Structure 1
Amino acid sequence: MARSMERTAFGARGRRATAALGRRPSGTRHPLIAVAMAVPLAFLLAVVFGGWEAVVTQASSVAGMLGR
């Protein structure tokens, strides 16, 4: 029981420290960071598997729907 209370206190202290530093708790990521990680991989897969034309077509369609 004492160990679980010790771990709980340690976890709360860690959460306060990350909040004070303006950092996010582990397990969460800013959406822009997630996009920055996913876009290069998506580009690579599109080029490697020959889906570049499909990507361009879809991007064109989305741009058309957005009015650009």
Structure 2
Amino acid sequence: MADTTGRTALRARGHRATGALGGSRPTGTRHPLIAVAMVLPLAFLLAVVFGGWEAVVTQASSVVGMLGR
């Protein structure tokens, strides 16, 4: 009985620490537009650095095609 109580207290303490650090995130899926908004700046940076505009356009059209389904 005491062992279970100790584990419960440790688990509760861990949840509080995770929440304080901003680590807890509700489970579920992210909206596709939010995901696109997160990826676009990186894609733009990589396209500028490596000069891969054609690859970016191809990948973007593929993503748009998948979102349209």
TM-score normalised by the chain length of structure 1: 0.42
The structure, 1 or 2, with the larger RCO (C-alpha pairs under 8 Å, 6+ apart) is 2
TM-score (norm 2): 0.42
